[in-house]
């Protein structure tokens, strides 16, 4: 593509490199910020929408995956995914009226 004075004088304008699939929204959107390599306990708790104290306690007991950089507790994206996967529960098929500690009332 020629961008010299001669090619511009024919009524065409030069708007930069041609991007066939670009839309006006693509140009206006800021570049995506990459996810951090490691999350602090506060940032990880925020992403999981749980309490930081719960996260620190479970990590200290080594009950959830975590990473220590020296003495500093951190969480990777994989750690957060594993925490969510470990907490996932399927549907319960148990009859709710026979929960432990609850008696079923009999009708007389």
pLDDT one-digit tens code per residue, 50-100: 999 999 999 999 999 999 999 999 999 999 999 999 999 888 776 655 566
Task: Count the Cβ atoms, other than its own, within 10 Å of residue 60.
Answer: 11
Q: Find out whether 79 and 67 touch, Cβ atoms under 8 Å.
A: yes
Please classify residue 43 by burial: count the beta carbons closer than 10 Å to its beta carbon, then call 0-12 exposed, 13-18 middle and 19+ buried: middle
pLDDT one-digit tens code per residue, 4-50: 555 444 554 544 445 555 555 556 667 777 767 999 999 999 999 99
- How far is residue 63 CA from its own chain's centroid? 21
Does the pTM exceed 0.75? no
pLDDT one-digit tens code per residue, 44-61: 999 999 999 999 999 999
Q: Find out whether 66 and 74 touch, Cβ atoms under 8 Å.
A: yes
Q: Find out whether 55 and 48 touch, Cβ atoms under 8 Å.
A: yes
pLDDT at residue 16 in the model = 45
């Amino acid at each position: 593509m020629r961008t010299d004075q001669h090619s511009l004088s024919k009524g065409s304008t030069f708007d930069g490199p041609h991007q066939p699939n670009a839309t006006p929204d693509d140009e206006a959107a800021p570049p995506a910020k990459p996810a951090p390599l490691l999350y602090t306990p506060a940032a990880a708790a925020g992403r999981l929408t749980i309490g930081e104290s719960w996260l620190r306690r479970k990590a200290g007991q080594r009950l959830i995956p975590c990473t220590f950089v020296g003495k500093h507790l951190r969480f990777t994206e994989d750690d957060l995914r594993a925490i969510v996967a470990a907490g996932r529960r399927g549907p319960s098929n148990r009859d709710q009226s026979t929960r432990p500690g609850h008696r079923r009332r009999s009708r007389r």
